[in-house]
């Protein structure tokens, strides 16, 4: 069979919505794109633990502390599922972690923003997880089997994340003046970065797009972003708060909300490493990994000793 | 004029403008824990089903890690783990010769046999 | 707070120890040596946090019945000061490296297991129920932490050294668990030898041993703590202290 034939069979499977599994033939670029995307997604979960982990020690009630701990732990689990999905494509977790630590691999820029008040825990749950869920629900149908299955599990578990975020903000919105101010401030700071999570505009793109053709992706950035804005613009009414966008307005003709222009200079700056916390986040990940080195070595050394002993017995 | 335009998606984070040229450093394998596949019985009477994978230094740790990672929401009552390198899989290239010959053996299925209604308990 | 009733103090002592070590373990979340173990210790954190909430809720109920007060789990956890906390000193000690973190858990969980076995037979049905529920969790904590003690003790030269250091550091804080306070309801002396046997057996398998130094610190149970606790509480309680009366 020629390469061309294989590619044709592959694309036919994709077109018929047949999932691609690890041992199936796939174009090298498909493998690479998936490795890149799944590992970025995994890194985002892991780095994403940090801004929220920040507030575990300071959570204002025991109930909130337990919820936050469970949520950050879920993110570790999600990172783990995704690393495992990427590993089926022939890259090791160590390699991926090396790439993250060397700065070669990327993670979602949203986590390079600081969490400055308790209300940020609510805003992250509601806005950041809300934005992530739009993407994740779509990814449950992605063409690569292990990625799709990981996403199904993740989506099931994520459903409490956004709800607890909104719930935390709802309590603040009904609280004291200081709490309401804290709530509004968090929404103001997280709104635009959440919109940036969907990535650059569609107009900056070519028409033929491999990711869409391969059904790794199924909706464009702008479609997802619009869905998100429509959802949040309604939900915020229940909080009695406002979104920091004077151009936000329902468009009866489009049946969608119009919204203002994103500050793309800021977006690219954070991507380039100049966000408020880029260095801090990576340093924290490197530190945990470096300080864990002797632990991982010891566990392997012990496992080997035990194997030898049982072999000798 | 050549314009290079790339399309980006959330989850596909661009590295434009990042002049980071680091290549991955080779890592030492002395600290790498092997990969394990995890199978979970969700309730008594059901088969163990593949749940996912994880890393662990040995089998005992793999079972505990599986408990912590894959049964946080009461998803299981029994766990199997096997080191991934010991899983042998059929080759997708053999799919046709492996699975298609079964497609014309309809007589293996009970519905193939059209019996008179009078025959009970069969 | 009226703590003339010693039983209330005992309940708070149980709650405080679980909460403070949970608070410490919580610091590991997102900073563990490997993802799988980050998740494992976070599960333990959640168990301990759950225990403390059960004890605080029960203590609040008993206190309110006795004093007509309106305590809640949160007033008890967030509005009491350093001198009011009755947790073991062991629980408030810093995480240090992974050896110290898991050894602290091991020494504490082994004790908790013995204590809670007793409490699960208490005439106070509510207390017995909490102890029973917790016991299942604690059995796992003992298993998990024992295995880590053995793995690191008998792992590499470096891990062995680190374990020795951790035990030397933590050991003088273990005696307090068996020193009776006025409010204790269990004969702790009975537990001591069982605890020591269990710990020694694990240490032996880990090629480690009990330190020669037998001096023991005390004070936590009566509210005289290390300097560490003040900072821990300042961080933990800051929102409740800054915005008195707010709902979260």
Q: Using one digit for the tens of pLDDT, what is the confidence trace for A152-178?
A: 999 998 888 999 999 999 999 999 999
Residues in chain C closer than 8 A to B54 (CB atoms)? 36
Nearest chain B residue to C40 by CA: give it.
Answer: B68
Structure tokens at C213: 């130094």
Burial environment of residue A302 by CB neighbours within 10 A (0 to 12, 13 to 18, 19 or more): buried
Confidence bin at B113 (pLDDT 50/70/90): confident
Q: pLDDT tens digits, residue range C195-209? A: 999 999 999 999 999
How large is the average pLDDT for residues C98-109? Answer: 98
Domain locations in chain C? 3-242
How large is the average pLDDT for residues A211-225? Answer: 85
**pTM of the predicted model as reported, rounded to 2 decimal places:** 0.92
Separation between Cα atoms, residue B51 and residue B53, nearest integer Å = 7
Q: How large is the ipTM?
A: 0.97
Q: Do the chains contact at C40 and B65, CB–CB below 8 Å?
A: yes
Three-state secondary-structure class, residue B58: coil
- Enumerate neighbours of A (3 or more CB pairs within 8 A): B, C
Q: Do the chains contact at C31 and A287, CB–CB below 8 Å?
A: yes
Separation between Cα atoms, residue B17 and residue B20, nearest integer Å = 9
Domain annotation for chain B: domains and CATH numbers: 1-88 (3.10.20.520)
3-state secondary structure chain C: CCCCCHHHHHHHHHHHHHHHHHHHHHCCCCCCCCHHHHHHHHHHHHHHHHHHHHHHHHHHHHHHHHHCCCCCHHHHHHCCCHHHCCCCHHHHCCCCCHHHHHHHHHHHHHHHHHHHHHHCCCCCHHHHHHHHHHHHHHHHHHHHHHHHHHHHHCCCHHHHHHHHHHHHHHHHHCHHHHCCCCCCCCCHHHHHHHHHHHHHHHHHHCCCCCCCCCCCCCCHHHCCCCHHHHHHHHHHHHHHHHCCCCCC
- Range with the poorest average pLDDT among A171-175, B12-16, C62-66: B12-16
Q: Does A79 touch chain C (CB under 8 A)?
A: yes
* CA nearest neighbour of A135 among A156, A151, A153: A151
Q: What is the mean pLDDT of chain A?
A: 94
Give pLDDT, residue C178. Answer: 97
The C-alpha torsion from C92 through C98 and C99 to C100, rounded to 10°, is -10
Instruction: Decide which of A135 and C160 is more confident.
Output: C160
Q: Do the chains contact at A150 and B52, CB–CB below 8 Å?
A: yes
Confidence bin at C154 (pLDDT 50/70/90): very high
Residues in chain B closer than 8 A to C40 (CB atoms)? 64-65, 68
Give pLDDT, residue B28. Answer: 42
Look at residue A200 and tell me whether its pLDDT is greater than 90.
no
Give pLDDT, residue B94. Answer: 83
Confidence bin at A205 (pLDDT 50/70/90): low
Q: Does C40 touch chain B (CB under 8 A)?
A: yes
A20, A31 Cβ separation under 8 angstroms: no
Separation between Cα atoms, residue C33 and residue A295, nearest integer Å = 7
Give pLDDT, residue B22. Answer: 38
Residues in chain C closer than 8 A to A296 (CB atoms)? 33-34
Confidence bin at B3 (pLDDT 50/70/90): very low
Nearest to C29 among A69, A118, A293 (CB): A69
Nearest to A135 among B7, B10, B57 (CB): B10
Look at residue A299 and tell me whether its pLDDT is greater than 90.
yes
Look at residue B2 and tell me whether its pLDDT is greater than 70.
no
Confidence bin at C94 (pLDDT 50/70/90): very high
Query: Which DSSP helix (H) or strand (E) runs through B79?
Result: strand B78-83
Give pLDDT, residue B14. Answer: 57
Q: Which residues of B touch A (CB under 8 A)?
A: 5-18, 20, 22-25, 27, 29-33, 35, 52-55, 57-58, 61, 69, 72-73, 89, 91-93
**Architecture of the CATH domain C3-242:** Up-down Bundle (1.20)
Q: Does C147 touch chain B (CB under 8 A)?
A: yes
Give pLDDT, residue B12. Answer: 56
């Amino acid at each position: 069979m020629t390469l061309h034939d294989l590619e044709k069979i592959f694309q036919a499977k994709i077109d018929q919505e047949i999932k691609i599994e690890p041992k199936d033939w796939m174009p090298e670029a498909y493998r690479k794109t998936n490795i890149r995307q799944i590992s970025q997604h995994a890194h985002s979960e892991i780095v994403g633990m940090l801004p929220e982990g920040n507030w575990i020690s300071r959570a204002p009630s025991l109930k909130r502390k337990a919820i936050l701990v469970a949520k950050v732990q879920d993110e570790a689990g999600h990172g783990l599922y995704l690393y495992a999905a990427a590993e089926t494509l022939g890259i090791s977790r160590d390699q991926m972690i090396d790439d993250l630590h060397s700065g070669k691999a990327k993670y979602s820029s949203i986590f390079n923003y600081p969490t400055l008040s308790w209300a940020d825990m609510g805003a992250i749950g509601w806005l950041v997880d809300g934005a992530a869920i739009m993407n994740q629900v779509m990814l449950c149908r992605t063409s690569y089997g292990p990625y799709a299955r990981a996403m199904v599990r993740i989506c099931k578990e994520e459903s409490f994340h956004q709800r607890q975020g909104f719930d935390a903000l709802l309590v603040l919105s009904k609280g004291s003046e200081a709490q309401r101010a804290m709530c509004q401030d968090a929404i103001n700071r997280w709104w635009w970065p959440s919109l940036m999570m969907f990535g650059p505009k569609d107009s900056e793109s070519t028409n033929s797009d491999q990711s869409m053709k391969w059904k790794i992706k199924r909706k464009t950035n702008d479609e997802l972003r619009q869905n998100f804005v429509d959802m949040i613009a309604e939900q915020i009414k229940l909080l009695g708060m406002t979104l920091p966008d004077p151009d936000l307005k329902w468009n009866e003709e489009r049946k969608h909300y119009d919204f203002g222009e994103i500050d793309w200079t800021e977006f690219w700056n954070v991507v380039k490493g100049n966000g408020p916390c880029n260095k801090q986040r990576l340093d924290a990940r490197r530190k945990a990994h470096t300080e864990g080195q002797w632990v991982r070595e010891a566990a392997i050394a012990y496992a080997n000793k035990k194997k030898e002993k049982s072999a000798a017995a | 004029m050549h314009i290079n335009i790339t399309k980006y998606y959330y989850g596909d984070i661009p590295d434009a403008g990042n002049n980071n040229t680091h290549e991955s450093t080779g890592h030492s394998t002395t600290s790498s824990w092997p990969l394990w596949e995890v199978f979970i019985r969700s309730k008594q009477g059901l088969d163990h089903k593949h749940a996912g994978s994880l890393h662990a230094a040995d089998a005992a740790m793999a079972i505990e890690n599986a408990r912590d990672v894959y049964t946080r929401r009461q998803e299981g009552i029994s766990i199997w783990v096997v080191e991934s390198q010991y899983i042998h899989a059929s080759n997708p290239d053999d799919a046709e010769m492996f699975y298609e010959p079964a497609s014309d053996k309809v007589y293996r299925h009970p519905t193939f046999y059209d019996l008179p209604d009078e025959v009970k308990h069969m | 707070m009226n703590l003339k009733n010693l039983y209330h103090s005992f309940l708070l002592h149980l709650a405080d120890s679980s909460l403070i070590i949970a608070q410490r373990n919580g610091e590991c979340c997102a900073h563990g040596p490997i993802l799988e173990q980050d998740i494992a210790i976070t599960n333990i954190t959640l168990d301990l946090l759950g225990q403390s909430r059960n004890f605080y809720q029960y203590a609040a109920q008993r206190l309110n019945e006795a004093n007509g007060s309106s305590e809640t789990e949160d007033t008890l956890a967030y509005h009491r000061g350093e001198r009011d906390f009755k947790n073991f000193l062991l629980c408030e000690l810093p995480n240090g490296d992974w050896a110290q973190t898991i050894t602290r858990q091991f020494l504490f969980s082994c004790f908790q297991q013995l204590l809670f076995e007793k409490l699960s037979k208490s005439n106070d049905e509510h207390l017995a129920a909490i102890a029973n529920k917790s016991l299942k969790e604690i059995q796992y904590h003992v298993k998990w932490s024992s295995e880590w003690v053995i793995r690191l003790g008998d792992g590499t030269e470096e891990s062995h050294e680190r374990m020795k250091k951790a035990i030397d550091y933590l050991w003088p804080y273990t005696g307090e668990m068996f020193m009776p306070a006025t409010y204790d309801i269990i004969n702790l002396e009975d537990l001591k030898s069982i605890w020591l046997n269990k710990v020694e057996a694990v240490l032996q398998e880990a090629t480690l041993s009990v330190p020669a130094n037998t001096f023991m610190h005390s004070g936590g149970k009566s509210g005289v703590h290390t300097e560490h606790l003040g900072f821990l509480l300042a961080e933990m309680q800051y929102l409740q202290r800054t915005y008195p009366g707010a709902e979260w």
